[in-house]
Amino acid sequence: MNNNSFTEHGRFRLAGSLLLAGQFGYIIVTQLHAGGNANQHHEIFETYAHSRIWGLVHIGQFGSMAVLLAGLLVFASAFNSETGAGRWLARLGAAATVAALALYAALQAVDGVALKESVSAWAAAPEAEKAARFAVAESIRWLEWGIRSYQDFALGGALLLLAGAAYLSSQLPRSIGSLIGLSGLAYIAQGWIAGTEGFSAAQSIWIVAGWALGIIWMAWLTYTSRLANCASVSQK
């Protein structure tokens, strides 16, 4: 193998490390998020209003997602030496990844700041103002549904495009591309449900499915890239 192949395997290894760190970080931080039936707005808004670590949790989620998406960008860059459709799929996947990051930043601004302020104002308002305050908070919640929906679509689209690049590449097992594609479909499903039902139990199922599939293909990518890298070193 040439030096270029060695560099590509190094990028896959770095991508796998970033992806796993971001995914596990996101899952851990999300466990600290105030919980309850997210579509029962009176109950959940009361819970949100009294959360003391709301801001830190959402900053942690944003940071973890940024690391995960940085891993996707590194992953996409490893296909630069490909020719034909694989290379263009990777480039389009990188563009969709950047869009997903921008949408996630907007999501956290709405959820992490605007929603928290609105539910806190509603919880503290005198009875005569509560209905109006609640209507504002619920409108912000629905805006959150919309941004979350399109962020999931963007991330799911990025994964599907990168799945195509991985499947066409001779550098990776095709099964990795297939798993990436399945994880992309899980995010597409999340996006559809968030835009039609909100944060329902059905969406939670697809969230867990996306996490599980993601961990599997990210770990597999890291493992196979390390093996390929060791083989490259031994042949030098």
Q: What is the pTM of this model?
A: 0.91
Residue with tokens 């034909």: 84
Q: Is the pLDDT of residue 14 over 50?
A: yes
For the stretch 71-81, pLDDT in tens is: 999 999 999 87
For the stretch 91-135, pLDDT in tens is: 999 999 999 999 999 999 999 999 999 999 999 999 999 999 999
Phi, psi of 103 (to 5 degrees): -65, -35
Torsion sign across C-alpha atoms 5, 72, 175, 217: positive
Confidence (pLDDT) at 171: 85
Confidence (pLDDT) at 227: 64
Could you state, in order of their start, the residue ranges of all structural domains in the chain?
3-235
Measure the CA angle with vertex 185, ends 181 and 188; round to 5°. Answer: 140
Q: Is the pLDDT of residue 230 over 60?
A: no
Q: Percentage of residues in the chain with pLDDT exceeding 70? A: 92
For the stretch 125-150, pLDDT in tens is: 999 999 999 999 999 999 999 999 99
Confidence (pLDDT) at 80: 84
For the stretch 155-173, pLDDT in tens is: 999 999 999 999 998 888 9
Q: Is the pLDDT of residue 229 over 90?
A: no
C-alpha span between 192 and 202 (Å, rounded): 11
The CB-side HSE value for 110 (13 A sphere, CA atoms) comes to: 20
C-alpha span between 122 and 135 (Å, rounded): 9
Q: Residues 26-34: contacts with CB within 8 Å, 24+ apart?
A: 26/61, 26/64, 26/65, 26/68, 27/211, 29/57, 29/60, 29/61, 29/64, 30/57, 30/61, 32/57, 32/60, 33/57, 33/61
Torsion sign across C-alpha atoms 212, 41, 189, 87: negative
State the average pLDDT over residues 42-63: 96
Q: Is the pLDDT of residue 232 over 70?
A: no
The closest of 69, 93, 90 to 80, measured between CA atoms, is: 90
